[in-house]
Structure 1
């Protein structure tokens, strides 16, 4: 099983959060978990062991999210939806 998707998700999390100490750990049974290797103290385990797809979904939802880009037409459409 390839862990490229998981690695990319952790890299995006590092960019979003500004915390370069997040790391992915891959176990022998092909599950993954997220740790915070902050310089002070021992590593903090952030997630439980998850299969690849669930791990990627967890990392995407974890931490601050990037604001969504919206065009003028998107905003107008959302405004119309709220009126109804």
Structure 2
């Protein structure tokens, strides 16, 4: 159960990044995971498999690489602060 929590959290983050697309995780009997995507327009259809079955760590990396988030914007003050920190580390 605890093993699948890491994979489930990765799928939840994917849903957030993809504007709540209906992604879900399938946990197989052999301990591997697969990613599926439901078709909300055809509710009577089965979800489509998006990935092959993978080990947990491989699955989490795969899911994390889907729908990458845009880099966070930094203010001028943030950039200046980072420069000060870098300069202080070099001394």
TM norm structure 2: 0.71
For residue 3 of structure 1, give the secondary structure of its aligned residue in structure 2.
Answer: helix
SS in 1 for 2:30: coil
Deviates more, 1:42-51 or 1:6-15: 42-51
Does structure 1 residue 48 correspond to structure 2 residue 58? no
Match of 2:69 among 54, 57, 65: 65
Over aligned residue pairs, what C-alpha RMSD do you find? 2.2
Give distance in 2, aligned partners of 1:49 and 1:8. Answer: 17
| Structure 1 residues 37-76: Cα deviation after superposition (integer angstroms, max 9, x where no partner) | 1222431110000000000000000124232354414997
Tell me the equivalent position of 2:33.
Answer: 32
Greater gyration radius: 2
SS of equivalent residue, structure 1 residue 30: coil
TM-score where L is the length of structure 1: 0.76
After superposing on structure 2, the runs of 4+ consecutive aligned residues of structure 1 that deviate more than 3 Å are 68-71, 73-76
Give the direction of change, closer, same or farther, for the CA distance of 1:24–1:75 in structure 2 (3 Å limit): same
Q: Post-superposition shift, 1:2?
A: 1.4
The gaps in structure 1 that reach 5 residues or longer are 77-84
What is the number of equivalent residue pairs in this alignment? 76
User: Partners of 2:36 and 2:63 in 1: how far apart?
Assistant: 11
